[in-house]
Chain A
Amino acid sequence: MLNFFTPALVLLLQEGGRIAQMKQSALNPDLSKFLVIGALLFIIGVAGVLTRRNIIVIFMSIELILNAANLNFIAFSRYLQETGSANALAGQIFTVFVIVVAAAEAAIGLGIVIALYRNKETIWVDEIDLLKW
């Protein structure tokens, strides 16, 4: 029985160690996790842009792409702070810029959407095919 449980216990203990390890790493994640999450956000954004027909949703997807980038900036900034680099705050500054630009872009983009809707009475991008000859 013990023979049966011991390895299980060991395994459990080992697992407990790994869980602690995982708990540890979840509380104090390293760079790769942020990059993976950023990449996922980016892919979700791109997929949204390419597949959705509602232009508002496309906008939202673009915001996702931007935020994926922001996440990368922040992650690298933190990583650089840990390594003790002198220029570690640059990523955070860029992030602020990107947020500002995104806000401006959203304002202009929504304006365009409203203008577009007034003219075409649609916000489906597949119906907005003015570039086709």
Chain B
Amino acid sequence: MQKYIWLVPLLPLIGAAINGLLGRKFRFSETLIGGIAVGSVALAFLISVAAVYSYGFGGHAEWPKPYVTSQDGFSFDWIPGGAVRINQGAHEGTAAEASRFALLNVEWSYQLDPLSSIFMLIVTGVGLCIFVFATGYMHGEAGYYRFFAYMGLFMFAMLVLVMGSNFLMMFVGWEGVGLCSYLLIGYYFDRQEAANASRKAFITNRIGDFGFALAIFGIIAAFGSAQYTEVFNQAKGYPIELLGHWGILSWIALGLFVGACGKSAQLPLHVWLPDAMAGPTPVSALIHAATMVTAGLYMVTRTNVIFQHSQTMLLVVALVGAATAIFAATIGITQNDIKRVLAYSTVSQLGFMFMACGVGAFVIGIFHVMTHAFFKALMFLGAGSVIHGMHHEQDMRRMGGLKKYMPYTYWTFMAGWLAICGVIPFSGFWSKDEILWNAASTTHIPLGWIVWLVGTIAATCTAFYMTRLMAMTFWGKERFLEQPAGGEADEAHAAAYTKGMAPHDATRAAAGDRPRHEPGEHVGPVHEDVAHHVATHGHGEHHGAHMPHESPPSMWVPLVALAVLATIGGLIGIGPAFRTVTGSEHPGGRLNISTWLKPIIWNPSTREFNSAEGTGHEAAPAEAAHAETAAATSETGGEAAHGTAAAYGDTGYNLAHTIEGATHSELATEWLFIIISLVVAGIGMLLGGLFYVWRPALAGVWAQRLRPLYNASYNKYWVDEFYGWAVTRRTMDAARAVFRFDSGIVDGIVNGLAWLSRQVSLVVGAIDKYIVDGLVNTVAAFIMRLMSPLFRAAQTGFTQNYALVMVLGLMIAVAIFFARDIFGR
């Protein structure tokens, strides 16, 4: 089945092509468009499942070796050969081989390995749920076909990104998802805000893409190939560049990380993601929460061998991740737009993932990608359901008490809330706790304890703002009864903004996600109950028609599916701390994500990729024995740590080791950290409950007391304003300066030359007119005066004169002709 994985990206592309090219012309019905889109993705999902099963668990399982489709001929030469010169490389010591040549031959083939299989399943699986949801959410849209064409195209690009077997294919997918993100954020392109947001996303991503492109050039220059297998095989032999050493691999890692920052919205380049919420909510769920923004994580994990070679870059990744996590989490506390809260939450969680990669726990980063895809997609779709039910109201201040009206949405959202807060046994707990534990116990980089501390505070904030979101949306008073909620208030604002009458107000809910039907318009069976409600209760007022309602099954069924995943999805990554319960450090054999991903992670101590020994299909006792030896020989997190410590040298103060020194037990230390993370999650939730459920007045009081902090958070630390001042304004200044140069100097030169040639032409014209023409005219006049009487005299007008001339001419002709005969010789 692995052979046929090339169908996985192709199917959504075909669906997108059919919808996009024919949907408008033949006026496809919504059922047909949705059927094509969902069907293609569902088929891709089934093929993915079958392929991953046969790859990892089937009779001829190739796991852990990467399977590239070119093995079976399912590939073609995409960029066929050219000799490249490799200036840098493993052989740079020897002069003879200082510059080698290699044949760069980029093929288009898909690679199935532990990492890409996980992403395939996430993208197609979560994507399927979101597609189903979107068929309901986008109901009544004029651009229905366009939406699904873009979505299908996105699926294709994303699958190329994660399934490609070389860096150039990853780049193609990378740009493709960027394009689709742009198209989908700007889906409501007739609204200024959405158009601006899409441009912002695209331009911000370009900065990252620039770094990524440079890194790819660096990789080709250093290794002479873009194929993952070839590059990593060479890279693993390079020396590790410790802190303070900066070599070729650090440069490559820097470029890659700049790319990852752009795509995954990390700190300097995070500004586009919250604005991207102007797109429809399914887009936010699919692209800006579950899949595209994790492309950076995919890339960093894919190139973990390069990142692990550069301790400096690992530290940078960890610190950027931690900074982003706390930064975005604190902003999330004060936002009022439900989608904006989730957007900042996403940025924060992405920070957590980078934190994990930075401290060397790439597997855990991917684990968090997966759990986050489940619970964040769930919450975004839940938010979409709420927005739909509230008739396109996104401001949480006008919600409240929705529990009663939207039970499915509420209960599924609850699962997501518990997961992101990190409540045991919901999925978020397992991954987040592992990240914090790995941060505290890392031997890859120094300052792990700072990363842990920041992460723990960010986790508290996360629990707090998520509880706030729950409370403001689903619990408490039904505020929409007092204040008319629904599209039109913000619609008016958005219209005014679009017409330039009102400035964009960051404190208001984004006018973002608002399908284009009128507030009272009847668009389908969804609103039947509302009509019924109005009829029975006789509400004459406008807002009476705006009572919240539960979403149709096409929307809540995906929610339920994702809620189940968000609840139990973490069980595939139960941490080593539970070995006394589960009997194994990584229970579940290959089903455990640590075991599954191990072969693609480079081990700094052995200088090789981790082998799959001691895992796989072996019996449980062997697992246990392995775990025991690991526990016996290790200080933190298994035997690798020893080697890692040796590979990276002394990394200074290590929180976990210190505690371990005090407790003399690794298990106790791990459990201590688990309890800490549970406690902080509880504190966050309790605080949220206190502020927004039990004593709602407190929120205002504390906002007043911490006014500067509150303002900073509310205004997103003025980053947008700063960028506007420092980048946009300066760019405009530069543009104006260039314009002045252009209009003043360049145009001046051109115009001056034009003036000059005009003057020259005047002179030349005068010469022509008076001298040349004069001469010609004089001669002509002279000839005319002289000759005209003569010629005029010949024209007598008498016919017979002409006849005489003819006869004379004839005689002369005859005379000439016969001259010899007449006059003799």
A132-B799 Cα distance, complex, nearest whole Å: 10
Which B782-824 residues have a C-beta within 8 angstroms of A?
Answer: 792, 795-800, 802-804, 807
A27 at interface (Cβ–Cβ under 8 A)? Answer: no
Residue from the list B796, B799, B804, B807 in contact with A128, Cβ < 8 A: B799
Task: Indicate with 1 or 0, residue by residue over A65-87, a CB within 8 angstroms of chain B CB atoms.
Answer: 00000000000000000000000
A133-B797 Cα distance, complex, nearest whole Å: 8
A131-B805 Cα distance, complex, nearest whole Å: 15
Let me know if A130 and B803 touch, CB within 8 A.
Answer: no
A128-B803 Cα distance, complex, nearest whole Å: 14
Residue from the list A49, A130, A133 in contact with B800, Cβ < 8 A: A49
Let me know if A50 and B800 touch, CB within 8 A.
Answer: yes
| Cβ distance B219 to chain A, nearest Cβ, rounded Å | 93
Given known A46-B807, A50-B804, contact A133–B792 (CB-CB < 8 A): yes
| Cβ distance B687 to chain A, nearest Cβ, rounded Å | 117
A8 at interface (Cβ–Cβ under 8 A)? Answer: no
| Cβ distance B759 to chain A, nearest Cβ, rounded Å | 47
Which A86-133 residues have a C-beta within 8 angstroms of B?
Answer: 125-126, 128-133
| Cβ distance B239 to chain A, nearest Cβ, rounded Å | 108
Given known A46-B807, A50-B807, contact A132–B800 (CB-CB < 8 A): no
Q: Which residue of A lies closest to B799 (CB)?
A: A125
| In the complex, chain B residues whose CB is within 8 Å of the CB of A132 | 795-798
By DSSP majority rule, is chain B's interface helix, strand, loop, or mixed?
helix
| In the complex, chain A residues whose CB is within 8 Å of the CB of B798 | 125-126, 129, 132
A128-B802 Cα distance, complex, nearest whole Å: 13
A133-B792 Cα distance, complex, nearest whole Å: 9
| In the complex, chain A residues whose CB is within 8 Å of the CB of B795 | 131-133
| Cβ distance A61 to chain B, nearest Cβ, rounded Å | 10
Let me know if A129 and B797 touch, CB within 8 A.
Answer: yes
| In the complex, chain B residues whose CB is within 8 Å of the CB of A131 | 795, 797, 799, 802
| Cβ distance A48 to chain B, nearest Cβ, rounded Å | 10
A130-B802 Cα distance, complex, nearest whole Å: 13
A132-B802 Cα distance, complex, nearest whole Å: 11
Q: Which residue of B lies closest to A130 (CB)?
A: B797
A130-B800 Cα distance, complex, nearest whole Å: 13
| In the complex, chain B residues whose CB is within 8 Å of the CB of A51 | 800
| In the complex, chain A residues whose CB is within 8 Å of the CB of B797 | 129-133
A45-B683 Cα distance, complex, nearest whole Å: 139
Q: Which residue of B lies closest to A132 (CB)?
A: B797
Q: Which residue of B lies closest to A62 (CB)?
A: B803
| In the complex, chain B residues whose CB is within 8 Å of the CB of A50 | 800, 803-804, 807
Q: Which residue of A lies closest to B797 (CB)?
A: A132
A67-B134 Cα distance, complex, nearest whole Å: 107
A132-B798 Cα distance, complex, nearest whole Å: 8
A49-B799 Cα distance, complex, nearest whole Å: 10
Interface centre among A51, A128, A129 (most CB of B within 10 A): A129
Q: Which residue of B lies closest to A47 (CB)?
A: B807
A58-B641 Cα distance, complex, nearest whole Å: 134
Q: Which residue of A lies closest to B808 (CB)?
A: A50
A51-B801 Cα distance, complex, nearest whole Å: 10
A46-B804 Cα distance, complex, nearest whole Å: 9
Interface of A toward B, CB cutoff 8 Å: 46, 49-51, 125-126, 128-133
A-B contact pairs, 20 of them (CB 8 A): A50-B800, A50-B803, A50-B804, A50-B807, A51-B800, A125-B798, A125-B799, A126-B800, A128-B799, A129-B796, A129-B798, A130-B797, A131-B799, A131-B802, A132-B795, A132-B796, A132-B798, A133-B792, A133-B795, A133-B797
Q: A126-B800, A131-B799 are in contact. List 12 more A-B contacts (CB 8 A).
A: A49-B803, A50-B800, A50-B803, A51-B800, A125-B800, A128-B799, A129-B798, A130-B797, A131-B797, A131-B802, A133-B792, A133-B795
Which 8 A/B pairs are nearest by Cβ-Cβ distance?
A: A132-B797, A129-B797, A125-B799, A131-B797, A50-B804, A50-B800, A49-B803, A126-B798
